[in-house]
Amino acid sequence: MAMTLIDSLATTDQLAKVFSDNSVLRAALDFEVALARVEARLGIISESAANVIAETGSTEKFDIAVLTRDMRGSATFGVPFVKMLTERIRSRDRESAKFVHWGATSQDVADTTLILLLKKSKPVLLGDIGRLERALEKLAEEHASTVMLGRTLMQAAPPITFGLKAAGWLAAIRRCQVRLEQALSEALVLQFGGATGTLAALQERGIEVGKALAKELELGYPDAPWHTHRDRLGALVCACGVLTASLGKVARDIVLLSQNEVAELSEPSGSGRGGSSTMPHKQNPVGSVLALAAANRVPALVASYLSAMVQEHERAAGGWQSEWSTVADVIQATGSAVAAVAEAAEGLKVDVKRMQQNIAATNGLIFAERAMMLLGSALGREEAHKLIQDATRRSVSEGKSLVEVLREIPEITNTLDSDTLASLDDPRGYLGVAEEFRKRLLAGKDGPKT
């Protein structure tokens, strides 16, 4: 595994590899090699120099410990990296070493390295989001008519369907995916501006080189360098924050519905999954726990990034230098949450019988609103509310069902016939337009309309 033990609950195998030391070096070398190749094609440096730079572009001989030490001495990755690369090339060909990093600045290689890492992260994130969406859509379809308690302020409320709940989860994740893809599309742009963002070292050929370099690296080419304009990355970090919070909402629901006292859902089990070191009976909702851990961490990371966006003039002192670890942590935490909830949803067990039992355990109290509305048209809402409120109190104190109590109140039996009272606590008769909402959510019809 590329991750460390201390980070193992905050990332995934795939994303740990993306942000590993070797992957960072590979991305930085890709930038330098691409720059040399482009400049050689345009006649700015010699073909032989570009070939030597390209042939030296492997990560194997970089001393990570020395590079790390020197980064602290220069407050940037770019300076010691370029120095180390230049020394390696000089040992092979002194003339070619003169053209390493030609026309670029340290922030160009550092920022573009980060962008290339984000580019590698994109299919990982979107792949797991796709898995999650398919799993939630399956749950929403399979449980279209599975009735369960609605819960408001953690208390039992009129019934809903589990299909509607799962469709609500799905719709939120879909909206987040749209935001994430848009933010990634805008963020995956080249950074190439030279010392102060003018590419003066390349004279009038700066844009020509920049466009060719962006094409070589398969990145977008911005209107101008963005050394201290971090809004694109800020939007991406915020999109991750909203996605992770939405995943946390799904995870919170699953955790609550998995409690032994509720027992309506359970995450997939298996060897080594969800167990306890001391309580053999435990089956913990570990996927949801991992997602909630990410949802706890990411908001502060988002705030940290937004604070660091206030940067000085053409090169920041402190703000830019704080970003690498923040962005890497946000992407990995988001990816950890997506993967964890996807795995949980793919194997989620729904106990339909338990859902029915939990409805029955309310003694019909969750249908108090229904009874009030039926009476209201004849008695007025205020009088109906008082009658039903008194009836619910009697139901609780006497241990009777709400329907039993209602049958003993003349004002109610004079208004509602026996058939209406008999069907009052049938949950399928009080679902409103739950099914229509479920279908709209699955079809993506909950967005703004003109």
CA distances from 435 to 61, 145, 340 (A): 61, 8, 28
SS3 at position 252 = helix
| Contact (Cβ atoms closer than 8 angstroms) between residue 144 and residue 162 | no
Specify whether 276 is catalytic: yes
Residue 229: closest CA among 333, 134, 308: 308
The residues near 34 (Cβ < 8 Å, ≥ 6 apart) are 213, 216, 217
> What's the rounded Cα separation, in Å, for the pair 85 and 103?
16
Specify whether 246 is catalytic: no
Residue 78: closest CA among 37, 31, 33: 31
Residue in 315, 336, 395, 438 annotated catalytic: 315
Which sign does the torsion angle of CA 193, 196, 197, 203 carry?
negative
Buried b / exposed e over 408-434, threshold 16 CB at 10 Å, is ebeebeebbeeeebeebbebeebbeeb
Look up residue 113 and give its two tokens. 């390295």
Residue type, position 173, single letter:
I
CA distances from 383 to 21, 198, 408, 413 (A): 71, 76, 17, 15
> Across the chain, how many H-helices and E-strands are there?
19, 4
3-state helix, strand, coil in the chain (%, to 5): 65, 5, 30
Angle between helices 78-90 and 21-41 (to 10 degrees): 60
Residue in 276, 307, 325, 377 annotated catalytic: 276
Residue 285: closest CA among 260, 308, 313: 260
Question: Residues with catalytic annotation?
Answer: 276, 315
